[in-house]
Structure formats: C-alpha cells, structure tokens
Chains A and B, each alone.
Chain A
C-alpha cells in the first residue's frame, strides 16, 4: 500500500483519474526528495524571484477552451487543451505500422513498459533538480509518441498544446518521444496560451533517439505574457542517431529554456537551431548545451535572437566534450540583435573540453541594428518598422535557412512577423 497520508492532494487526484500505482510511486519519490534538491543554475540567467515553482495542489481540472479556429482538424495529429485531449488523428496506416501517439493517461494505462523504460530514466533524472522533481510530482498532461524500428514517417506529426490560463492552474506537461532503431520522424509542436491569468508552466520534453534513428523536432512556443515557464527539452542519442532541433521561441512571458543533447552513442549528431524574439518587458534565458560522450559525435548550436523594447534575452551556448569522446566535434554560434536602447542581451559561449583529440569552436556577438541598412531601406519609402523587420529577417535568415523543413521555415517566418508586429505596436 502506498502511504499517501502526507499528500492528500495526490491521494485525491490519483483516485479521481485512476492512476496506476507504479506512476503514483514516482510522484511520491519526487515529493519526498524535493527538499534535498537544488534549483537548476544557469550562467547569467537570474530567475530565482520568478513564480516558477509549481506550488498549487495536484488537481484534476476541466478546461472550457474550444478548438481554435485556425487549427485545421484534418491536418493536425493531436490537440490538447489544459489537461484534456480535444482530438487525436492517428491514421489506420500508422496504427498498422505500430506507431503509438496517445495522451499521457492512455500512455500510463496502455503502454506502461515504454513509460517505465524511458520516462525520466535516460535523458533526465527525476531528481536532477527541484523543478524536474516538481514536474513529476505535479504532472497532469502530456503525450507519448513511439516510432517502431525501421518505420519511416514521411508526413510530419503536428501537435497543439494549449495552456489554459483562463483559470489559475499550473500547467505541467510532458512529451516523451521515442524513435526506435533506424526509424525517422518529423515532429512539430505548437505550445500556446489561452487566457491571461498569472500561471506557471513546467514543461519537459524527452526525445529518445535510438541507434540510427533520425528525429526532426520543431517547436513554435507562444506561451502567454502572464505565464512563467520552465521549459526543458532534452535529447538522448544512441549510436549514429540524429536529432535536428528547430526551436522558435515566440512566447511573451518570462521563460527559462534549457535545451540539451546528450550525445551518448558513437557517431551521434545533434543540430540545435534556436530563433528567439523578446518583446515588452519579458526575460528569456536560454541555455543550450551539447554534451559529447560518444566517439566522433557531433554537437552543433546555432542561435539568433532579437530583443525589442525593454526586454531581455540571454543565450548561453555550452559545448561539453567528455573524456573519451575521441574525434568529437562541438561548435556553436550565438548572436543577439538589440532594437532598442532599453533592451538587454547577452551571448555567452562556454566550451568545456576534457579530451584532446576533438574539434570545437564558438562565435558570439551582441549588436545593434545597422543604421545604414535601415536608412537604405527607408530611403525607398519603407516605413521604419517595416524596414526594421526586414533587417531582422536578414539577421535571423541564416538560422531559418538551416532548418531542414520548408514548411516549418514558413511557419516560423510567419510567427516571427506576427510577434514583431505585436512587439512594435507599443513602441
């Protein structure tokens, strides 16, 4: 018998949702350990006074958010609002191939072996820090995606995760994506907020890329102004696996983004592309790391960000080559463009090299808009704000051009344009 006396909210919740006991045990483990754990620490990212801790009781809450009009029901794989799943489209063909795409509740009920094997086991540990433990303790939504051995999915999977800020509830969400040996998948997640209540989001994404698999992972984050976010995306790569991360950070609130790739297998390869736009008074702290353990593993980071108004953007780029990672390659480039004199930005390269026989490099810059470029564009009649957007597009271009999917490039371009237009309104 589980002793839940200490945690009456957990007891009530697990009974309400009929949660399997083995998962509740993980919650208890996390809760018991919480007091012994530290907050994660990132250079130059100060977030300690943010309401980033998930403090509210575990609660089974219904959301009243309807399917957003701009979502094409037939073109998306899954839509979740708050803790609910509004729709799931998994074709018969995919099911026959053994592909699993289901919400978290279904994952616990029907695929315990997968969850037990991979959930917070390989890429991240439950007890890594206070926020990862809180994540497990308070987890209430998520998905499991499993691509079987040798299955190659041509069409991308498209997810919409909608945070419910119409109510004062925390959003704790987990994505577990497992690409089995020699499989290939392209995955896009849109995370957005409906509502303006002050809320906290704790989101962890684990991508497990087994031997020879290839995952193209893209995201467009549009979390709301009043949502404080801890967003941890982590890849775990076995031999010759590859992950292409294309991450568009278009959220409007304060956010800590922790994007890491553990290059465990020989010849594994992670390409991380980040595009970020900060507006208003928001702070975005982005800590992107590649850690080479495997021989001849490759970890590349390319991140460009634009800062408007009084906002703040920090890019940390960490290339960590462990001893024994002979022939490894760790490269990174972080660039920040500031559009206002009140904006603050930082690009902070960190290389930690523990083996000799490797290649590594970094480039970083923080700069302002080129006045000559603006003048030239405006001299042809373009209004200043439009001219600024064109200069910004040019600045972000190298990252967008390096994103492997054309449709995701276009999606990101549109989102960038939208966020910039919104951000410029208040100037």
Chain B
C-alpha cells in the first residue's frame, strides 16, 4: 500500500496566499473527492502536489510513502508515482500522442529496458478502444486541435497507459457532455483497485454519480472545512456551498456569491 499525505500546506501564487493549511491523507485503494466553490484553491492544491513551479509552497509537507517530495521537480514526482490529469492540457505540435505516451512509459523504466513497440501498441490499441477513441488519435500531435472532450479523454488515456500510484483529476468533468463523462468515469473506475488511489477535484456532484468516492472533502477559502462519505456530496447538491458554510458558521465570502 502507498500513501499520499498533505500536512498543513500553505501555498501562494504571485505573492497571494491561496492555501492556508490543508491536511489530507489518502492511500492506494481509495478514491477521495474534493469539492468546493470556485476560487477556493482546489486547482492550487492539485498543482502544488504535482509540483508546478509557478506555485510556491510557504509551509507544510507533501509526503509520498512517508518521504517529503517538496524538493523534487515535477518530472521526478511523476516518476515517483504521481499523475495530474489537467484541466487545460498543453498542446504540443510535432510530437505524436503515441510517441509521447511511449516516452512517458519509458521514462519510468531502465534505459536498457524500454517497453517493446509491440507490447506498447497492443496496450495502446486496447486502451483507446476501451475509451471509444479513434485510432487516428494516436498519430495526431499531442492535444493539438483536440476538442475539450478529446483532451479530457486523452488525459485518461495517458493515466491508463502510465498506471501511476496516485492520480489527481482536476475538474476532469468540466465541459464534458454526458457521454464523454461516462467514458472518462469508466476509465477511472477501470483503474480502481488496491494499487491505485485518486483525488478527484470537482465543482459538481454529477461526476460522483459515476465515480463513487470513499471520502468527500469540502474546501473553502484555502482549507478543508468538512469531510464525510458520498452522502456529503449529495447534501451539497441540495443545499449549495453557501448552505454548508452557514451551517458550519464560517465567515467566508464565496467568489461567485452576489454581494
């Protein structure tokens, strides 16, 4: 079993404090959801865990299997077992999707022991067909000219090919129609198992109908303010974030709330 633990994490971007002490622990075999209103620091948390250099950690620790990974650059964190499915994946012209994924897999293997082309293609074909992706997607340049839905599917394809220990899915449901949402969920559920843990960041409860979480965390104003089972997500759907805030007696202004 592997663990990913976030302890008292404070993060700022361009001098502005976004995370103000986040605590979180997840183990392989578990799926956690983080819900929260806009502008509350959910994406910051995922970028900070992954190691985006634009985000500055001011305090706290991020531990993977008990080892602090804050000093590791993003590529080393990835090779150590972290994966972030991004909200806005970059487009890379000139590099085909298949070539990129093979490079990512080989980056985790010894230099003299790359995955054979045959085994790679077999796995790629199988996974793409599982995700209802057309074959030509493998030969297209990485995310270039992909629709929003294609990009999200492509993130899940990479997830399934790379097989990380922990995957953070940052609003993977945004901009998806219901069919695409089902495919993306199918991919994550396929990964579910003793060797895989996931942190699913979402704005809406809808995604959690398809990927049922073990634990739901609610974030507001840079902190986790509530924790519970899947029923907490349902409660939020009914009462809204403002309702939960008032119930908890928190003095927080929500970004999208009218003055």
Contact = CB atoms under 8 A, between A and B. Distances in A.
Interface of A: 370-373, 375-384, 386-387, 390-391, 393-398
B107 A382 contact: yes
B94 A377 contact: no
A394 B90 CA distance: 13
A375 B108 CA distance: 17
Given A386-B103, A394-B141, A381 B75 contact: yes
Interface string B86-121: 100111111100001001100110000000000000
Q: Which of B73, B75, B100, B162 has the most CB of A within 10 A?
A: B75
Contacts of B93: 394, 397-398
B50 A383 contact: no
A382 B77 CA distance: 11
Given A375-B52, A386-B103, A394-B141, A380 B158 contact: yes
A382 B104 contact: yes
B240 interface: no
A375 B50 CA distance: 10
B107 A386 contact: yes
Contact of A370 (B73, B89, B90, B158): B90
Nearest to B90: A376
Chain A interface, >50% SS class: helix
Interface residues of B, number: 28
A375 B94 contact: no
B50 A393 contact: no
B73 A378 contact: yes
A394 to B, nearest CB: 3
A384 to B, nearest CB: 6
Given A380-B107, A390-B92, A393-B94, 8 more contacts: A373-B91, A380-B78, A381-B75, A381-B79, A381-B104, A381-B162, A386-B107, A391-B92
A380 B74 CA distance: 9
B75 A382 contact: yes
28 contacts: A370-B90, A371-B54, A373-B92, A376-B86, A376-B92, A378-B74, A378-B75, A379-B51, A379-B78, A379-B83, A380-B78, A380-B83, A380-B104, A380-B107, A380-B162, A381-B75, A381-B78, A382-B104, A383-B107, A384-B75, A390-B94, A390-B95, A390-B103, A391-B92, A394-B92, A396-B94, A397-B93, A398-B93
A19 to B, nearest CB: 49
Nearest to B79: A381
Contacts of A370: 90
Contacts of A393: 94-95
Interface in B127-176: 141, 158, 162
In the A-B complex, the 7 residue pairs with the closest CB atoms: A397-B94, A394-B94, A381-B78, A376-B90, A380-B104, A378-B75, A381-B107
Contacts of A382: 75, 103-104, 107
B87 to A, nearest CB: 12
Contacts of B104: 380-382
Interface in B8-41: none
A259 B11 CA distance: 53
A382 B91 CA distance: 16
Contacts of B92: 373, 376-377, 390-391, 394
Nearest to A401: B94
Contacts of A383: 75, 107
A384 B90 contact: no
A371 B53 CA distance: 9
A379 B80 CA distance: 11
Given A379-B74, A381-B79, A390 B90 contact: no
Given A370-B90, A381-B78, A381-B104, A375 B53 contact: yes
